[in-house]
Amino acid sequence: MTVDEISVGSPAASADGGRPVPQQVSGMRAQARVATELRTSPGGRQRSCVSTLRSQAPLALRLTRAKAREPWAAHAADIARVSLAAGAGGPVGGDQLILRVEVGPGSSLVLSEISPTLLLPGPRGERSATHVRIQVAAGATLIWLPEPIIAARGCDHVHNVVVDLDEGARLFMREELLLGRHGEETGRVTQRVSVRHGGRPLYRQDIGIGTAGADTPAVIGHHRAVGSALIVDPSWLSDPPSARALPGDAALLPLSGPAALITASAGDNLELRAQLHAGLTALGPPWDPGR
């Protein structure tokens, strides 16, 4: 499913259309979009520039600066940095949010997030949904660092991520799901991820929390946090990383293609971050985040 096929309250409102999306009685509907391109200055210097930055409440996209060390950026052309702030809290049941990201040929984008997402139930038990549609062109790099998604008791949410990578694109994508706030029973989230590389399927996975079978010893057991980091690096076509078990319930898994998944289940978000960090360290440069 692409964003263009997602109904957002009006049949005429496509993610590309740019027209305001009508507010519906049941929940908020919003679309935000960011696009980057590589520009060359008269002096011949190349820079990644944000060519489109469109926000719609509660999704606010802002230009930002480097926050942390960025080891992966060593060889990238000047990087564009954008952060997402979800202003109103939520999404709550009934909300439909769409984020569209296009990283143009040769450009680099670091997309971060200001705060975690707290999923809340709607007034009438409706489902909420977030759709993220990402395209990364050849020679381009997307580093996507969303903050954790917290499933508050009673929430019912679909988180749908579709990524299309051209051959030669690079990607870092982190996903963290927390099963409720401290001591809270978890709500229900289905996270659907579909990543294609050069038109071929590279990674396709649905992870549920609070869904049938999720709390069994085959899936996530009694862990309170589950997450992954997916890294796509064209240099792995010739020299792929090797699989290894990581401390705790985590592993580094080379995929069938120039990509690796760090998968982890943990007692809390701190432990989860530490496991993902250990996986990146195991990958070595340029993905090793250092101390």
Q: Which residues bind another protein (CB under 8 A)?
A: 1, 192, 194-195, 200-208, 212-221, 226, 228, 243-245, 249-251, 253-257, 261, 263-265
Q: Closest approach of Cβ 221 to another protein, in Å? A: 6
User: Nearer Cβ to another protein, position 4 or 62?
Assistant: 4
Amino acid at 105: P
The distance of closest approach from Cβ of residue 157 to another protein in the complex, given in angstroms and rounded to an integer, is 17
Return all residues near 79 (Cβ < 8 A) that are at least 6 apart: 48, 66, 70, 73, 108, 109, 110
**Contact at 8 Å (CB) between 258 and 223?**
no
How crowded is the C-beta side of 250, counted as CA atoms within 13 Å? 27
**Burial status of residue 45 (CB atoms within 10 A of its CB: 0-12, 13-18, 19 or more):** exposed
Give me the least distance between CB of 80 and another protein, in Å please: 29
Q: Which is nearer to another protein, 181 or 204 (CB)?
A: 204
Residues 92 and 127 sit within 8 Å (Cβ to Cβ): no
Residue 53 or 255 with smaller CB distance to another protein: 255
Nearer to another protein, 59 or 172 (CB): 172
What is the distance between the alpha carbons of residues 52 and 119, in angstroms, rounded to a whole number?
Answer: 28
Q: What tokens were used for 230?
A: 């997916």
Residue 88 vs 245, nearer CB to another protein: 245
- Smallest gap, in angstroms, from Cβ of residue 160 to another protein? 11
CB of 78 to another protein, least distance (A): 33
